[in-house]
Amino acid sequence: MGSITLKQVAKRFGDTEVIPPLDLSIEDGEFVVFVGPSGCGKSTLLRLIAGLEDVSDGVIEIDGKNATDLPPAKRGLAMVFQSYALYPHMSVRKNIAFPLKMAGMDQAAIDAKVNGAAATLNLGDYIDRRPGQLSGGQRQRVAIGRAIVREPSAFLFDEPLSNLDAALRGNMRLEISELHQTLATTMVYVTHDQVEAMTMADKIVVLRAGHIEQVGSPLDLYREPANLFVAGFIGSPAMNIIAGPAAEAYGAPTIGVRPEHMELSHDEGTWRGVVGVSEHLGSDTFLRVDVEGVGTLTARAGGEFPARHGDTVGLTPDPERMHRFDANGLRIAG
């Protein structure tokens, strides 16, 4: 239980086609992340799966059964919204109990489930407070609690961590991953943060303007991006994209080299340039190097590589780990 299949699903708002027909299959128990720039249709796609929007074309199957025309409640999915969408006039306990109450469960069973969820998510301290009296992270937990008590066949998350600060986001990321390990339930997760995508996903779906650009495991996408868009989107800091004569030297109209796949040295290198900004992160140092005829490149140096503003350094790309793209921006195999 928990597989989702989209067949030629399309969505139009009036005349504008937000999602052109696309196919996608999500296996049972998978953690699938939709990434893409703002406005590319991630939320729309998630809402189509949830049943909060009607599809304009195509078929949605959940567990092999056609669910295209089922109302949201009948699809057996639970959603965690970006704004949390907690009910402000109900206590945390009532919020979590709400879906069970709507399902007509008896009070003893509801209490047992709510207490179980509260224990899993450590909600005990504020179970009788109202959402207005909670911090962002606590609200997020309550929203997740409300989703898990229903024991859905899949969870849908729409940018659940985007309102949290960096440290808390890191924690919650781990917690959601752990939750996925324990429950082993399908999760579909929308984000525009590629770090979240890389760390959490079994499978990443990269979207641009409603199109699926590539589907694959985080490492597949990192090692073999299908096109320039995916190459630029996955990886942090972003891949260096080089065009012109410097690229043609390697036999392609455009090449891509990741900052971590270049050799840095003080005296020699294929490309020589002047260090602009250097960012010291402790373990790593990222140098922005201006190379004449190539452009500004980002290179990773070990934490102790001595380089300062104005130094001249040499960069040597590793041809084995270089990505070559044709004139249409598609990957050249090999």
Partner 1 sequence: MSTTHSRTAGKAMISPAVILLFLWMIVPLAMTLYFSFQFYNLLDPVKSFAGFANYEYFLTDPAFFEALGNTLIIVIGVLCITVIGGTLLALLLDQPMFGQGIVRLLFIAPFFVMPTVSALVWKNMFMNPTNGLFAFLSKLVGSTPIDWLGHHPLASIVMIVSWQWLPFATLILLTAMQSLDSEQIEAAEMDGASALSRFFHIIVPHLARAGTVVILIQTIFLLSIFAEILVTTAGGPGYASTNIPYLVYMQSLLQFDVGGGSAGGIVAVILANIVAIFLMRLVGKNLDL
Ligand X SMILES: Nc1ncnc2c1ncn2[C@@H]1O[C@H](COP(=O)(O)OP(=O)(O)OP(=O)(O)O)[C@@H](O)[C@H]1O
CB 117, CB 149: distance < 8 Å: yes
Asked if 194 touches ligand X (CB under 6 A), the answer is no
Beta strand 295-302 with 284-291 is antiparallel
Long-range Cβ contacts of 304-308 (<8 Å, 24+ apart): 305/264, 307/264, 307/266, 307/275, 307/278, 308/275, 308/278
Q: How far is the CB of 197 from ligand X (least distance, A)?
A: 13
Residue nearest to Mg ion (CB): 43
Q: What track of x and - describes contact with partner 1 for positions 231 through 260 (by CB under 8 A)? A: ------------------------------
Q: Is 18 in the site for ligand X (CB under 6 A)?
A: yes
Q: Is 195 in the site for partner 1 (CB under 8 A)?
A: no
d(CA 320, CA 127): 55
Neighbours of 21 (CB within 10 A): 15
What letter does residue 71 receive in the DSSP assignment? -
Q: Closest distance between Mg ion and the C-beta of residue 38, in Å?
A: 7
Q: What does 41 interact with, of ligand X, Mg ion, partner 1, none (CB < 5 to 8 A by kind)?
A: ligand X
By CB under 6 A, which span of 34-42, 70-78, 144-152, 242-250 interacts with ligand X?
34-42
Tell me which of 93, 139, 150, 192 binds ligand X, using CB under 6 A.
Answer: 192
Could you tell me the smallest distance in angstroms from the CB atom of residue 323 to ligand X?
Answer: 26
Under rule CB under 6 A, residue 40 binds ligand X: yes
Decide which of ligand X, Mg ion, partner 1, none touches 71; Cβ closer than 5 to 8 Å per partner kind: partner 1
| 116 touching ligand X, by CB under 6 A | no
From the list partner 1, ligand X, Mg ion, none, pick the one residue 79 interacts with, judged by a Cβ distance below 5 to 8 Å according to partner type. partner 1
Site for Mg ion in 20-59 (CB under 5 A): 43
Site for partner 1 in 99-138 (CB under 8 A): 99, 102-103
Does 83 sit near ligand X (CB under 6 A)? no
Q: What is the DSSP letter of 96?
A: H
To the nearest whole angstrom, how small is the minimum distance from the Cβ of residue 42 to Mg ion?
A: 5
Give the dihedral sign, CA 159/160/165/169.
negative
Number of chain positions touching Mg ion (CB under 5 A): 1
Q: Supply the minimum distance, in Å, between the C-beta of residue 157 and ligand X.
A: 12
Please select the residue that binds partner 1; options are 1, 73, 119, 249, rule is CB under 8 A.
Answer: 73
Alpha helices in the chain (DSSP H): 42-50, 92-102, 107-121, 136-148, 166-183, 194-200, 218-223, 228-233, 245-248
**CB nearer to ligand X: pick between 46 and 172:** 46
The CA distances from residue 74 to 52, 67, 68, in Å, are 12, 9, 11
The CA distance from 5 to 3, in Å, is 7
Q: Is residue 13 a contact point for ligand X (CB under 6 A)?
A: yes
Contact present, 174 and 195 (Cβ < 8 Å): no
Q: Which is nearer to Mg ion, 39 or 124 (CB)?
A: 39
Looking up tokens 């752990």, which residue turns up?
178
Q: Which residues of 57-94 are buried (b: 16+ CB within 10 A; e: fewer)?
A: ebebebbeeebbeeeeeebbbbbbeeebebeeeebbbe
- CA–centroid distance for 76 within its chain: 23
DSSP state, residue 19 = E
52 binds, among Mg ion, partner 1, ligand X, none (CB under 5 to 8 A by kind): partner 1
Stretch in the footprint of partner 1 (CB under 8 A) among 70-78, 184-192, 235-243, 326-334: 70-78
Question: Rule CB under 6 A: which residues touch ligand X?
Answer: 13, 18, 36, 38-44, 192
